[in-house]
Structure 1
């Protein structure tokens, strides 16, 4: 190993190892770890390496980093230069460019004392474990071996993100499980220097016995209760995964759609890397009361969702791509459906967070029709897309879509083959809200989420019952349709008429956007004083709002049950009250 002492001192040995801990496309985070592998104390250290042209360090911490051309040097701080035998210290940096370090030297010698540079590399990811011999209380796991430049010592087996065993073999039998319960298993390798590599892909396992509960796709007796969680909600809204626990909502839902990933250049891409997997949570903010550390491999919402699933293993999480703002990329992506589906699979199943997600949701607004942008891919594009994604994601992952509720003659439901696509989907989230709003600034005022038609409705076919009826008539099975609920209201100002159909002068003011406000605000700011077409409305001062209340949600859930629907979904969690009034109404209204 590398000698670090002067000739007059006893020889010491050490290694320096490098890992890229994050990569967000335009930059990355790197980490060096210096370890004293000898028997005497090290009093200082200097790590040197070369980056190829176009790659550089932009900021660094826990070391003083300088450069000369493409050659980089990191020296210890005054407080972290001393390493006792067996001790290690890490320093990190943010970088730009695609390159990796080469020609590593530690105190003038090779970083691992041999020809392999830049040091003793961590092992590769093992193969995704397979599961067999599943009983009420146990499962047999096996996986293909990882590789390492100096040899693999053993493997950590992780259940729901926590290590349950460390074994030398490529198999393990996990026991002491609960009957009829969902678990997620990953495996990571350790090398002879005790470095851990990336986790394998995740294997979902459900033990036998117990209550069958919701599995992939709503089957007979299953009821889906799904809510959207938005990555941008962690900012101004200050709404975090832990709020699902404190509100009591986590125990009352079955699925979460995490919104949104983007669709760019024919591929699925990260929506907000900071919120998704980098934001650090304190112990008070975290689901399990454990704070994030600066060097852990996964932070942000993804890690919080992992912790949520550990506490509520019945919850399935889907990553939703597109949405109103980011639907414009679908048309280009569908020029090569197989490549598009594969890019999304690779992102959803990234080893850093594969255990977090149980499938994908595709929110294209709208295929072969117009939303924020227009698409002219043809009516078959929806079926082609869902078939490509089912082929790539396989039968064990959820594949769903959020779809239009425009049941007008020649409207958006008629524009694409939703019936043909349904055979490949576990379910559709039918967006039975936003039918009417203050984008029609002068009115007429109308409820944005009417369950049924009513006299004077501004547009026939713009109601939930019409949308569900049309989809069923086209051949979409009722159990593959979820009724949509908005956890917000839409409103106008300059209104004198209490009943729907009044004129207005423009959108009412809202906390984040004109014409829209959360239910938790409206219930006090403008309490409902009437109902129309199965939903509530309110006239207070010069403002007119429509929104769903616990009572109207309950009646809509009863209607959904009578229609034989697969359940309900809502947009989105942060609009609810702190004690989850609307989620509770969905849960109790749908039953088991």
Structure 2
């Protein structure tokens, strides 16, 4: 059997043509930045305030000192301004002022504080206006600036038993008085063990034994995790079921009051009981989703998957734990994550496009694509080969040898991501980067693009052809998965970027990325990049990794975060690495590969000796391969496995794959002999040209349309070049197929290949209104 095409998501090797950036040492940094909650302080870190001057304008200074035995790599300072005081002219630090609360991050040159040293002579200072009074509530990396232990909250008072059933006890109490930090949670303890927790002054202890006496205490916790002393104990006895054997009636009229892509709000009519209804249990299918008190006839279920059908029922339960019959079954389908009932359009923007391609985030806007795209996938983020975490903060190119098994190890481009200072002419809003801001480069331009197009979702794509080597390792165990996922969410969703050339820091990229796109090529298969790690256990581990991403993304709260994946067209690769009955419980949708079915790369290791369609819609009857790939064959494989069509987009190539010295064979070069890859758009990328470059730089090419397989190709004549690509003819027919099949939409690899006037994307947009 012919070996499947490598199914690359990008060419073999992408050079990093890094441009020199002017290094500016600015001793006065002003402006605003968005910060994440600070980390806990290292032992010995303190901040001391002093002031000088007089009158209504004076100078305040904080000296950060490290009395510990190890260097501290960065610090964050928080304080509250006294009434009537305002601050300006921040020096040696960047400040965010929110009312009277000020949060400061250091300049890049004074962030690191060696053991036994302080930040002098570059300590953070400001100009104060108003009474010369010291700030209050000073915190350094989340701890008290004077280094003293935090005073915990006091014990809650007034703990009482609010309700008991056969297996639960509900307690209530008064708010605890805070210590140094506000109270944010309470814990219920039994015998020293935590048995319930709550953010309010009420909690229910579950899974107790009927007719049994229990003693509980309650303690408060503050925003820094400091625990207060326990309250006075309270005793409760669970109900004896023998005292009540009559169940409640079934709740009626279960209905929905609101549906989103990830939530369903439910309401029902009350049940009755000969004694009292104690609670309502809400089921999703046969699984208990939540329980609510008897005085609550509504709930909102969260963490659901978009475009998914769910069945809900509700049962009443009395104090003796007698369950009622289930009420009516309510079937609800959640909204789609993107597309809004129409068709979604997803486009990849490549990190390295700003170099040889000279394609900038601004071009997404000026071409009109950003206004019509639903999702932009930013490609790619790498995996740290040692720590098995998301990798950034480095500028290291890939090996020029596409067969090098270590080609992508440790590679990355922080310069392009958030270090490069774009001039005004390359900026989305026409404003140049200042050269020393904490956020520059493509990330800052994406932030500006979202501000201009608020509907647009931006995802960080992890992996790709060259960066998938360590996915198998990162997914191999529960601990490895949890660590990897947390690192990616911290870096890209929370925005904690590593320091790079004065850029980066806590939360500097917060709010840019709306989710994660997984581009593991390929789990469970040896046919990925040379040297890729893989295992027969990859399929199960891939499912577990996707579930872990969903769990941690949902735990963030707030708006639903998208989770998507680039998935293969080859049925063997699908079956080897993707559990189609499980993964869509967690994933919003999949971008199914619709290209790279045939081709020849720079090293002629793929299919150098015969031409072939790289993106045909249907199998070609003239294909000499016994098991030829097609978009329809791939889509049917997903649908046959029970995947909802509204969970699938198909990929459109905005580039061509070509061969040289191609025989005519009476078929205009179609499926004919060749002598390797045709010259490419870039010297190191033979056999590949963007559509704009292909149409402009391959003279004498006649375009042909294979109406049976729905494939476009171009031929320059006997012993000439032969190219396979999508044009508007092919896109028109493929978008009609998407509409016919009821699929979610289309995905583009990648946006820089289009003509400046957006010829291909306009065709995609017309076909997917």
Paired residue secondary structure (1:327)? coil
Map residues 241-256 of structure 1 onto 2, 5 A cutoff: 241-256=361-376
Structure 2 residue corresponding to 1:520, chosen from 692, 697, 720: 692
Report the CA distance between 1:306 and its aligned residue.
1.0
Shift of 1:87: 5.1
Structure 2 residue 476 is the aligned partner of structure 1 residue 328: no
Q: Which residue of structure 2 lines up, in the alignment, with residue 285 of structure 1?
A: 426
TM-score (norm 2): 0.52
**For 2:752 and 2:29, how far apart are their aligned partners in 1?**
45
The CA distance in 2 between the partners of 1:108 and 1:520, in whole Å, is: 52
Q: Distance in 1 between matches of 2:122 and 2:378?
A: 48
CA distance in 2, matches of 1:244, 1:280: 19
CA distance in 2, matches of 1:390, 1:56: 33
Match of 1:12 in 2: none
Paired residue for 2:456?
315
Alpha-carbon offset, residue 524 of structure 1: 2.8
Q: 1:342-421 to 2 correspondence within 5 Å? A: 342-350=486-494, 351-370=507-526, 371-372=528-529, 373-376=532-535, 377-394=537-554, 396-407=560-571, 410-421=572-583
> 2:593 — aligned with what?
431
Q: TM-score with structure 1 length normalisation?
A: 0.67
For 1:295 and 1:219, the matched residues in 2 are separated by: 38
Contact 2:669–2:722 (8 Å) recurs in 1 = no
Structure 1 residue 462, shift from structure 2 partner: 1.1
Aligned partners of 2:493 and 2:515 also within 8 Å = no
Determine if contact 2:64/2:123 at 8 Å carries over to the other structure: no
Secondary structure at 2:380 match in 1: strand
Contact 2:380 2:461 (C-alpha < 8 Å) held by counterparts: yes
Q: What are the within-5 Å matches in structure 2 for residues 573-592 of structure 1? A: 573-591=751-769
Asked whether the equivalents of residues 406 and 461 of structure 1 are also in contact (C-alpha less than 8 Å), the reply is no
Aligned to 1:471: 638
Does 2:571 match 1:556? Answer: no
Classify 1:273/1:558 alpha carbon distance in 2 versus 1 (closer, same or farther; 3 Å).
Answer: same
> Does the aligned pair in 2 maintain the 1:262–1:322 contact within 8 Å?
yes
What is the Cα deviation at residue 217 of structure 1?
Answer: 1.9
In structure 2, the residue matched to 1:173 is none
| Cα 1:383–1:453 shift into 2, 3 Å | same
- Measured in 1, the distance between the counterparts of 2:353 and 2:578 equals 32
Whole-angstrom CA distance in 1 between matches of 2:142 and 2:541 = 42
Question: 1:549 Cα deviation (Å)?
Answer: 0.5
CA separation of 1:348/1:109 partners in 2, compared to 1, >3 Å: closer, same or farther?
closer
Q: How does 1:60-75 map to 2 (within 5 A)?
A: none
Distance 2:67 2:390 in 1: 29
- Distance in structure 1 (CA, Å) of the matches to 2:750 and 2:123: 56
Structure 2 distance, partners of 1:355, 1:380, is 32
C-alpha separation between the residues in 1 aligned to 2:450 and 2:370? 9
Measure, in 1, the Cα distance between the counterparts of 2:440 and 2:29.
25
Deviation at 1:250, TM superposition (A): 1.1
By how many angstroms is 1:123 displaced?
A: 8.6
Distance across 2 between alignment mates of 1:221 and 1:504: 45
Larger helix proportion of the pair: 1
Deviations 1:437-485 (A, max 9, x none): 0144543200111111012323525111100001111121111110101
Q: Which residue of 2 aligns with 1:205?
A: none
Contact 1:487 1:573 in 2 (8 A): yes
Secondary structure of residue in 2 paired with 1:257: strand
CA distance in 2: counterparts of 1:378 and 1:445, whole angstroms: 33
Give the Cα–Cα distance (whole angstroms) in 1 for the partners of residues 722 and 111 of structure 2.
Answer: 53
Counterparts of 1:428-507 in structure 2, within 5 Å, are 428-438=590-600, 439-457=605-623, 458-497=625-664, 498-507=668-677
Q: Structure 2 matches for 1:91-240, cutoff 5 A?
A: 103-104=117-118, 217-218=337-338, 221-240=341-360
What is the alpha-carbon root mean square deviation over aligned residues? 4.2
CA contact (8 A) 1:319 1:359 kept: yes
1:546 corresponds in structure 2 to 724
Residue 51 of structure 1 contacts residue 99 of structure 1 at CA under 8 Å; is this kept in 2?
no
SS at match of 2:425: coil
Specify the structure having the higher radius of gyration (Cα). Answer: 2
Give the number of equivalent residue pairs. Answer: 451
The question of whether the paired residues in 1 share the 8 Å contact of 2:567 and 2:574 is answered with: no
**Counterparts in 2 of 1:235 and 1:37: CA distance versus 1, 3 Å:** farther
Q: What are the superposed Cα offsets for residues 558-592 of structure 1, whole Å, 9 maximum, x if unpaired?
A: 1111111110101111111111111111111111x
Displacement of 1:357 after TM fit? 1.1
